Structure 1
Amino acid sequence: MLNPGSSRTFQEYSTAVFISFIESQLEYGSRLDLVWDCYWQNFLRNSDNKEELFSFLAEQVMQLVVKESKQLVVTDKKQVLTVPPRKDTANLAPCNHEEADTRMMVHAADALECGHRRILIRTVDTDVVILAVALANERSEVLDELWLTLGTGKNRRYIAAHQIAKALGPEKSRALPVFHAITGCDRVSAFAGHSKKAAWATWNAFPEVTTAFLGLASTPSELPDGVLSTLERFIVLLYDRTSTCCDVNMLRKKLFSRKSRSLEHLPPTRAALEQHIKRAAYQAGYTVSGDRQQ
């Protein structure tokens, strides 16, 4: 969200801030996609205000005069608007993604389909980095560079998702969204007291779990016993690296009785873990697929 400054109305914001920014960004690329998020602060928490602003800005953008060599794509609820008008937007709309982070991947995938080989994504959400790395790996044959920019001014930094994907390798890059979802993301709960850094160290110490992550990435609607058992062992190691146990229920009992841990810092029951994994698999399954329907 661009800082509105002293703007008091949507029109003032559009004229003084938004449109001039869009015009400046169009100078640096051949295509610009605007993807709205559904969760903004202050008055935009009111869905009526949010939808009114987004629709208004979309209308303002549609009035821009865009060179023939340029393409402007802006989301408008489940649909998209384009300047110049584009005949086929089937890859983009209708789209029911509620948050911008996953919908950005839909637009990035479409840009690749349209022949764009260098992409820059501007975001404030670090979750997008995970999705971009997986996308860079999946579309490496048609992608040259996929960059992300986070922050503003002196705090702005650029992240090369394509280089991260290359460093991690195909398997780990493809498994990354599943790992991220299982260990906690915007829409899946985390394990209390266990950071991403600790989870990453556990993954490195137990590389066998990569196969389970890949299994969920391939078939998110299925959870075979073998995959569940491997993930259960991964969670056991996350809570107790020295444990030889493979049963989270047994580990819960041991940690509670021997180490006097509070309930919120115990691992979930096996039944709860199974539901957690199913939710994480669903979340990770569509995030980098480029599918406009969740």
Structure 2
Amino acid sequence: MPKLADKITDAPHVTSIILYGPVVVEMLKPGGSRTFQEYSTAVRCNRGKGIRRRVTASGPLPSNWQNFLRHSDNKEELFSFLSEQVMQLVVKESKQLVVTDKKQVLTVPPGKETANLAPCNHEEADTRMMVLDELWLTFGTGKNRRYIAPHQIAKALGPEKSRALPVFHAITGCDTVSVFAGHSKKATWATWNAFPEVTTAFLSLASTPSELPDGVLSTLERFIVLLYDRTST
């Protein structure tokens, strides 16, 4: 796979910052906090089953934080509670804070136009991001922290491959689809480059057709065959 994401360690100049709530909660453990109110103050400065616990300001924090986060109702209440707490922040006059709470879109200072943002009914934060000129992603902490520029990656890939990339990701392994046994993203990427004809099939699926056009399924089958045996006829 070509190295499209250089290791940039200096923070780029940005005009907006987007924080994904679930990731923040996963990263910021309760530490010495005893109640949800104390935890929310600290915040401001895996999927599955877990134990249900009501989220209230004075409610004690669970002893097993990861188990608490596995219950979807717990997370929903926690995110709403944290959204309310964040709305109490004092924002500089030159800044604007936008917070989502379920389908609501809240702003600080209040009164800002949010019709183009609400209702917030997207399941994943990724689909809420609209790229204007540049989009930077930051990963890691401390010495391992780096910045990735998706707008530069899209330019390197070109418009067709960029539009096809989400379908490639979905087919080769994502949140709801298993990866191909014994083949990483790097291996499937190499097969894509060796079999560029599959790009047309990916683009066809990206246009969300009501039924598969002729030849798409056979092209996808050929792609998977080549993934396991480059010399197969």
Shorter-chain TM-score: what band? Answer: 0.7 to 0.9
Match of 2:94 among 69, 73, 80: 69
CA distance in 2, matches of 1:89, 1:178: 31
Matched with 2:127 is 105
Shift of 1:81: 1.6
Matched with 1:132 is none
Matched with 1:27 is none
Match of 1:165 among 154, 176, 179: 154
Indicate conservation of the 8 Å contact 1:149/1:157, yes or no: yes
CA distance in 2, matches of 1:167, 1:183: 21
> Is residue 210 of structure 2 the alignment partner of residue 184 of structure 1?
no
Matched with 1:91 is 116
Indicate conservation of the 8 Å contact 1:148/1:160, yes or no: yes
Task: Summarize the alignment of residues 214-225 of structure 1 with structure 2, pairs less than 5 Å apart.
Answer: 214-225=203-214
CA distance in 1, matches of 2:174, 2:210: 19
CA distance in 2, matches of 1:70, 1:104: 23
Number of aligned residue pairs: 188
> Is residue 33 of structure 2 the alignment partner of residue 11 of structure 1?
no
CA distance in 2, matches of 1:104, 1:92: 14
Helix, strand or coil for the counterpart of 2:106? strand
Amino acid at match of 2:160: E
Helix, strand or coil for the counterpart of 1:75? strand
Indicate conservation of the 8 Å contact 2:100/2:120, yes or no: no
Task: Summarize the alignment of residues 26-37 of structure 1 with structure 2, pairs less than 5 Å apart.
Answer: none
> Is residue 220 of structure 2 the alignment partner of residue 195 of structure 1?
no
CA distance in 2, matches of 1:96, 1:156: 31
Match of 1:205 among 194, 205, 219: 194
Shift in CA distance, 194/220, structure 1 to aligned 2, threshold 3 Å: farther
CA distance in 1, matches of 2:110, 2:200: 44
Q: Deviations over 1:212-252 (max 9, x none)?
A: 111111235431121111111111111211111xxxxxxxx
Shift in CA distance, 94/221, structure 1 to aligned 2, threshold 3 Å: farther
> Is residue 228 of structure 2 the alignment partner of residue 239 of structure 1?
yes
Amino acid at match of 1:224: P
Give the TM-score normalised by structure 2.
Answer: 0.74
CA distance in 1, matches of 2:229, 2:187: 11
Shift in CA distance, 220/191, structure 1 to aligned 2, threshold 3 Å: farther
Indicate conservation of the 8 Å contact 2:136/2:150, yes or no: yes
CA distance in 2, matches of 1:91, 1:191: 39
Shift of 1:91: 3.3
Unaligned runs of at least 5 residues, structure 1: 21-39, 110-138, 245-294
CA distance in 2, matches of 1:155, 1:70: 29
Shift of 1:19: 1.4
Task: Summarize the alignment of residues 50-61 of structure 1 with structure 2, pairs less than 5 Å apart.
Answer: 50-61=75-86
Shift in CA distance, 55/88, structure 1 to aligned 2, threshold 3 Å: same
Shift in CA distance, 155/82, structure 1 to aligned 2, threshold 3 Å: same
Helix, strand or coil for the counterpart of 2:136? strand
Indicate conservation of the 8 Å contact 2:103/2:121, yes or no: yes
Give the TM-score normalised by structure 1.
Answer: 0.59
CA distance in 1, matches of 2:77, 2:125: 20
Matched with 2:69 is 44
Shift of 1:86: 4.3
> Is residue 216 of structure 2 the alignment partner of residue 227 of structure 1?
yes
CA distance in 1, matches of 2:190, 2:166: 16
**% same residue:** 86
Shift in CA distance, 19/80, structure 1 to aligned 2, threshold 3 Å: same
Shift of 1:185: 0.5
1 or 2, which has the higher helix percentage?
Answer: 1
Indicate conservation of the 8 Å contact 1:216/1:222, yes or no: no
